[in-house]
Structure 1
Amino acid sequence: MRIILVTGPGGAGRTTVAAATALVEAWAGRRVLLLAADGGTGTVLDDAELPGSLTVLRPETGAGFRREFLAIQSRAGTAFDLLGAAPFEEAELTELPGSRSFAQLRALRDAAAGDHDLVVVDMPVLRDALALLALPVQLRRYLRRLLPPERQAARALRPLLAQLAGVPMPAQWLYESTARWETELAAVQAVVDAPDTTVRLVVEPGPAADEALRTARLGLALQGVALDLVVANRMLPAESGDPWLAGLAARQHDHLARLREAYGSVHPLPHLGRAPRGPEDLALLGAVRHQAPAVAPPGRTVEDRREQDGVLVWHLPLPCAVKDDVSLVRRGDELLLTVGPFRHALALPAALRRCTVTGAGLVEGDLRVRFTPDPGLWPRTP
């Protein structure tokens, strides 16, 4: 199954491109699911007669939030009673900030478990989409740090602790909930990390498009997700008798050339002269069916240079990164990497955990972190 995550800056037309991609693929006979993870596609496909091979799904975020909240409230009822807290009724619950993100991830996981040939996801705007894709890894890291599974070995002490505290200890259900969350997050992460999951960036050629491409390439490289295609939307005709329109078109095509120079796989879509609405307009954008092959971003590799320089070098691909925007800190078995607006915690490979960081350098989008083996852990052979 192929999964295409469509995102871009606000107003660039990502919802239209997602709908057009799904529609033309369905017309071609593929079983397609269009997942409106950001709640869009409504104005584009409302009241339209869709092919039978196309399914449109708009996840309902409120029900999942209410279900999870009520479950936690029920299991922690004793503690709430001791605090004098008044429990919530389902009818009075409203979504909290962040609940939509969890609903989107759950919908993506469920979609990947279906029997479709293609899943097209209308993602949030670029920065929010990158944050959403990073969420499973981040939450799993927090869960392992705050509630490590090995602490469950202390179950024999819980009755004693309950007597000392005078209240039942909720540790068991808490760990059970944590294990369930870990399983669900791991399933979502597997979908994001799958080689057939790619991101499609929609931009409108201009100064903002250049910045969006840099942000997307850098953010996706940190997460190891492939960018398969850049869609240059709303391209004006190259030739026009109107000097004003011709000037706008010329600037657009200059930016298009810069996008292609920075990232070769760029596909232009024409400006329709109106806001697209309905299958007929989307058919005019049928060229969006062009699909570049999914190419995985360069992986992280460890280069053994102990014989030459006495170090191991960890290569981290960071396309479009600027040296002044990069900082890193070693914390235990993790490398905390900050690049521009992104912060990412990278688990060190096993060999590097026995080393100390002795330097780093950024060379043409390749961050090279040097590790010197700890003599106590890497004894030299006499």
Structure 2
Amino acid sequence: MRAHLVVGGGEHAPTVTGRVAAGTSLRPTVRSHRAGEGTDPVLEAIEHHLDRLLDALDLPSPVVADLVGRLLPPELPTLLRLARSLDQAESDDHELVAEVDLEVARVLDLPQRVARAFAAFVPVVARWEVLVAPEGVGALPAPEPPVLAALREGADLLERLDAAIADPEVTAVHLAAPAGPVGAARRADAEVLLALMGRTLTAVHPDGGSGVENLPVSPAADLPSLERRGEEWLLHIDLPGVRAADLDLVRHDDELVLGCAGRTRRVLLPSVLRRCDIERAGVAGGVLTLTMTPDERVWPRG
């Protein structure tokens, strides 16, 4: 299965979507529409419980706004429909051509962020009586059973959507942005966010043009992503087009937070490196290389 996502919000996006659909293989093509009918069951369950919970907790308005923004961004219904469309296309062995009528940065960035927010909320709901409302303390409503299932399903759907977008073997990303500065800004956002995923744009479709401007594809690195050299481990992460001066790198527990041009992405360290320290980091040829050594506090020598 290969999915083709037309993003960018340009007026010519429907034309591009039709052109991409016409150029796909002879297998049936599924078209995703801008508007969906009904409410996704994941969204319905979480919204219902969140309203009850926030009313009972009587939290300050800024806290409520932050929580709702993380769990229920306005783009969530579209992203859930897209995730389900991808699953259905894979199940049916169809190709998916989807015009995604959202800001390109939100399409590329939100699935990971919301999936993590859902996943972080799962243990809170699962252990509600221990962590939030012990028996006899107040009268907070207990989460309804469908809420936990909805959080888990939503996290799984969005994680798979994020992985599909990040994989050029699965998803082609076609940019059909407006002309002028807005389109240029959206292209820059797409290039940065995809670079942090280790890939480039598949194609840019010029406004009013019948052709496709193919972007240069970075050659695949010959180095393995993880290798052992003596007592050191080398971790290689593709960041096509990113220079060392433009990259921000922070380690947070078992994750790396990669930043460039105001955009960020989290990368989970391989399990063998989670008890190692970063000794050196460098970027060359669009590849970030981390040199890591075992933490002597957890890997005693001799």
> TM-score if structure 2 supplies the norm length?
0.72
CA change 1:77–1:350 in 2 (3 A) is closer
Checking the alignment, whether the CA contact within 8 Å between 2:5 and 2:172 is kept in structure 1 is yes
Instruction: Give the AA of the match of 1:198.
Output: A
Structure 1 counterpart of 2:98: 121
- Aligned-pair distance for 1:82? 8.8
Pairwise CA distance, 1:371: 1.5
* Contact 1:19 1:34 survives alignment (8 Å): no
- CA–CA distance in structure 1, aligned partners of residues 178 and 148 of structure 2: 47
CA distance in structure 2 between the partners assigned to 1:213 and 1:336 by the alignment: 22
Matches within 5 A, 1:6-155: 6-8=6-8, 11=10, 13-23=12-22, 25=24, 30-35=27-32, 57-60=33-36, 63-64=38-39, 68=43, 72-73=47-48, 77=52, 80=55, 98-99=73-74, 101-112=75-86, 113-114=88-89, 115=92, 117-124=94-101, 128-148=103-123, 152=126, 154=127
Distance in structure 2 (CA, Å) of the matches to 1:78 and 1:211: 39
1:263 to 207, 216, 237: 216
Give the Å deviation of 1:216: 3.5
> Partner of 2:202 in structure 1?
228
Q: Distance between the aligned counterparts of 2:298 and 2:148, measured in 1?
A: 35
Q: Distance in 2 between matches of 1:159 and 1:375?
A: 37
Tell me, what secondary structure is at the counterpart of 2:202? strand
Q: 5+ residue gaps in structure 1?
A: 36-56, 84-96, 237-255, 266-294
* Alpha-carbon separation, structure 2, partners of 1:321 and 1:132: 21
Q: Percent identity?
A: 24
1:317 is matched by which residue type in structure 2?
D
> Partners of 1:229 and 1:344 in 2: how far apart?
22
Residue 200 of structure 1 is matched in structure 2 by: 174
**Residue 329 of structure 1 pairs with residue 302 of structure 2:** no
CA positional deviation for 1:58 = 3.2
Alignment of 1:349 with 2:270, yes or no, is yes
Residue matched to 1:43:
none
Higher alpha-carbon deviation: 364-373 or 295-304: 295-304
Tell me the residue number matched to 1:303: 227
The Cα shift of 1:33 comes to: 2.5
Of structures 1 and 2, the larger Rg is shown by 1
- 1:162 and 2:135 correspond: yes
RMSD: 4.3
1-structure distance, mates of 2:183, 2:73 = 27
Counterparts of 1:184 and 1:66, CA distance in 2 = 12
Instruction: State the secondary structure of the residue aligned to 1:163.
Output: coil
Q: Is the 8 A contact 2:34 2:101 kept in 1?
A: no
Q: Is the 8 A contact 1:197 1:226 kept in 2?
A: no
Question: Once the 2 structures are TM-superposed, how far is the Cα of residue 21 of structure 1 from its aligned partner?
Answer: 2.1
Distance 1:103 1:297, change over 3 A: farther
Q: How many Å apart are 1:363 and its aligned residue?
A: 0.9
Q: Structure 1 residues 355, 233: CA separation in 2 closer, same or farther (over 3 Å shift)?
A: same
Structure 2 counterpart of 1:137, which letter? Answer: Q
How far apart, in 2, do the equivalents of 1:178 and 1:313 lie?
Answer: 36
The residue type equivalent to 2:134 in the other structure is L
Deviations along 1:6-65, one digit per CA (max 9) or x if unpaired, are: 234x6483332112222455xx86522332xxxxxxxxxxxxxxxxxxxxx33237x428
CA distance, structure 2, for counterparts of residue 192 and residue 32 of structure 1: 18
Unaligned runs of 5+ in 2: 59-71
Equivalents in 1 of 2:50, 2:10: separation in Å? 44
Instruction: Report how far residue 353 of structure 1 moved.
Output: 1.0
Tell me the secondary structure at the aligned position of residue 17 of structure 1: helix
- Decide whether the 8 Å contact of 2:4 with 2:96 is kept in 1: yes
> Is 1:315 the equivalent of 2:236?
yes
| Pairing partner for 1:182 from 155, 159, 166 | 155
The structural deviation recorded for 1:144 is 3.0
Pair 65,368 (structure 1): closer, same or farther in 2 beyond 3 Å: same
- In the superposition, relative to structure 1, how do residues 363 and 179 fare at CA in structure 2: closer, same or farther (>3 Å)? same
Out of 347-356 and 319-328, give the one that drifted further: 319-328
Supply the distance in 2 between the matched residues of 1:169 and 1:15 (Cα, whole angstroms): 46
